[in-house]
């Protein structure tokens, strides 16, 4: 393993150099022709660009197939690691983190709410493929095809064990982020996953300062708290977690009978290995069935409270939309129209829209937010209720097993199982 810590930075520097050259070509100003020739406007994607998008889909499919084989059949951490480095170079540093499955959920949300928004087959493929593979093989996309996950995985050097209750409690946040991301995308307000993607600035070697700091902070924290973005932020990871729970062929730690040696128990930096359930634990859980029923009965109430609470903040949340923000600004501070430094206001004044039109548009958007926040809040309430109930559900296990929802199929634990070593 030591040699990879030397080779990896070299590969990353190589990737940066390649990426820089390709971008340098784009930055070069276009020549002006003395004949008066003007560049034609490109109204539709150029065929070559479209072809490259299809290439990306095929590359993603290739990564997913190969990772699934490495995880389920070959059971090799070493190969999974090398493949993940390739994915980081291609989808991260070469493609600049775009197109990406994580952000694609926003395109999907907007296409459902706005029929005039056409979503490309490429985006649909990037959204669907990881979910479909997760349903079959677990989170193989997270293992070695997602550049956001891989860049964090490579910096894990001394992972600390996060207490289970903290890990589970913070695990709700990706679902909250998912609800907000869908809300903002579906209302045509913003793509917040992309706007606050902490790693895209690193991939592109340039972003707003606060985003670069955010990305570096995630990587520094990630040295000790493995994959912090994946575990506590990623909204697409929330979807993958759910599909992976039902995966048909998930990675198993041992290829044969578990001999209960416990060697794998501390090997997962993400705390995703679950112990066998002892008879005492099962008896304890039986004694807590009253709490299970109580929390299950509370779910409808949590859904209602969640919906009402978030919808009470719909005016505040809607102000992220430019029309709502501007309408409030012009109504609450009418003197601002004399401020020549306020570009938002000056751009609006230079347009042919009237204040009445702006206010009508803002009202419609706020109404959409009122409905959207009800659904989003209800969803968050449902997740909170299911989280509470899940504390009182224990599946009978005889072996050490990966938690299918939390396991990133990284393959680290496989190496610790002596059964496999004997078989190999
Ligand atoms: S959890 Fe999200 S960011 Fe992490 S690897 Fe999976 S999809 Fe990528
Ligand atoms: S394969 Fe899953 S359970 Fe095993 S170390 Fe990786 S994330 Fe943990």
pLDDT digits (tens, 9 = 90+) for 94-153: 999 888 999 999 999 999 999 999 999 999 999 999 999 999 999 999 999 999 999 999
User: 146 C-alpha to center of ligand 1: Å?
Assistant: 6
User: 194 C-alpha to center of ligand 1: Å?
Assistant: 14
Q: Would you place residue 235 in the very low, low, confident or very high pLDDT band (cuts 50, 70, 90)?
A: very high
Q: Is the pLDDT score of 36 beyond 70? A: no
CB 403 within 8 A of CB 251: no
Q: Would you place residue 306 in the very low, low, confident or very high pLDDT band (cuts 50, 70, 90)?
A: very high
Whether residue 141 is contained in a domain is answered as yes
Q: Is 77 in the pocket of ligand 2 (CB under 6 A)?
A: no
The average pLDDT across 373-398 equals: 93
Give the Cβ contact number of residue 279 at 10 Å.
Answer: 7
pLDDT score of 397: 86
Q: Is 146 in the pocket of ligand 1 (CB under 6 A)?
A: yes
Whether residue 32 is contained in a domain is answered as no
- Distant-in-sequence contacts of 57-65, Cβ < 8 A, 24+ apart: 57/121, 57/122, 57/125, 57/126, 57/129, 59/90, 60/91, 60/101, 60/125, 60/126, 60/129, 60/145, 61/125, 61/129, 63/87, 63/144, 63/145, 64/129, 64/130, 64/133, 64/140, 64/141, 64/145
339 lies in the same domain as 248: no
Whether residue 415 is contained in a domain is answered as no
227 lies in the same domain as 317: no
197 lies in the same domain as 290: no
205 lies in the same domain as 95: yes
User: 175 C-alpha to center of ligand 1: Å?
Assistant: 13
Whether residue 321 is contained in a domain is answered as yes
User: 129 C-alpha to center of ligand 2: Å?
Assistant: 21
229 lies in the same domain as 343: no
Q: Would you place residue 206 in the very low, low, confident or very high pLDDT band (cuts 50, 70, 90)?
A: confident
User: 403 C-alpha to center of ligand 2: Å?
Assistant: 8
Compute the CA torsion angle 371, 373, 379, 382 (nearest 10 deg). Answer: -100
The per-residue pLDDT of the chain, averaged, comes to 88
The protein residue with its alpha carbon nearest to ligand 2, atom 3, reads: 402
Q: Which ligand has its closest atom nearest to the C-alpha of 84?
A: 1
Ligand 1 atom having least distance to the Cα of 143: 5
Which residues, other chains included, contact 350 with Cβ-Cβ below 8 Å and sequence gap of 6+? none
Calpha distance 162→143 (Å, rounded): 20
Q: Which ligand has its closest atom nearest to the C-alpha of 250?
A: 2
Name the domain count of the chain: 2
Phi, psi of 402, deg, nearest 5: -70, 140
pTM attached to this predicted model: 0.86
- The boundaries of the domain holding residue 350 are 279-390
CB 397 within 8 A of CB 265: no
């Amino acid at each position: 393993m030591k040699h990879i810590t030397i080779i990896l930075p070299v590969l990353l520097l190589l990737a940066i150099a390649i990426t820089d050259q390709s971008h340098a070509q784009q930055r070069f100003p276009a020549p002006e022709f003395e004949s008066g020739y003007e560049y034609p406007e490109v109204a539709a994607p150029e065929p070559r660009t479209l072809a490259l998008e299809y290439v990306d889909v095929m590359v993603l499919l290739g990564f997913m197939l190969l990772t699934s084989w490495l995880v389920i059949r070959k059971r090799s951490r070493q190969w999974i690691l090398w493949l993940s480095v390739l994915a980081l170079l291609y989808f991260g540093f070469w493609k600049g983190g775009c197109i990406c499955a994580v952000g694609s959920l926003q395109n999907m949300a907007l296409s459902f709410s706005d029929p005039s928004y056409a979503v490309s087959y490429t985006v649909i493929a990037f959204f669907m493929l990881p979910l479909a593979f997760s349903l079959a093989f677990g989170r193989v996309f997270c293992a070695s095809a997602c550049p956001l996950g891989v860049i964090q995985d490579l910096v894990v050097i001394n992972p600390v064990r996060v207490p289970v209750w903290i890990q589970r409690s913070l695990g709700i946040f990706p679902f909250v982020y998912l609800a907000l991301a869908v809300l903002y995308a579906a209302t045509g307000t913003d793509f917040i996953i992309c706007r606050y993607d902490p790693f895209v600035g690193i991939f592109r070697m340039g972003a707003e300062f606060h985003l670069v700091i955010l990305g570096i902070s995630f990587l520094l924290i990630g040295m000790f708290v493995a994959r912090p973005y994946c575990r506590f932020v990623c909204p697409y990871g929330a979807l993958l977690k759910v599909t992976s729970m039902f995966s048909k062929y998930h990675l198993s730690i041992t290829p044969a009978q578990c001999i209960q040696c416990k060697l794998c128990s501390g090997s997962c930096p993400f705390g995703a290995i679950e112990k066998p359930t002892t008879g005492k634990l099962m008896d304890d859980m039986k004694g807590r069935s009253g709490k299970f029923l109580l929390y299950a009965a509370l779910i409808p109430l949590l859904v209602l409270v969640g919906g009402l609470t978030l919808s009470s903040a719909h005016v505040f949340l809607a102000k992220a939309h430019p029309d709502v923000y501007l309408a409030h600004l012009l109504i609450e501070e009418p003197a601002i129209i004399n401020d020549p430094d306020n570009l938002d206001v000056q751009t609006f004044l230079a347009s042919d829209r009237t204040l009445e039109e702006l206010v009508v548009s803002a009202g419609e958007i706020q109404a959409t937010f009122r409905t959207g926040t009800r659904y989003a809040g209800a969803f968050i309430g449902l997740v909170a209720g299911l989280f509470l109930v899940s504390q009182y559900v224990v599946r009978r296990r005889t072996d050490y097993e990966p938690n299918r929802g939390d396991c990133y199929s990284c393959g680290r634990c496989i190496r610790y199982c002596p059964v496999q070593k004997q078989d190999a």
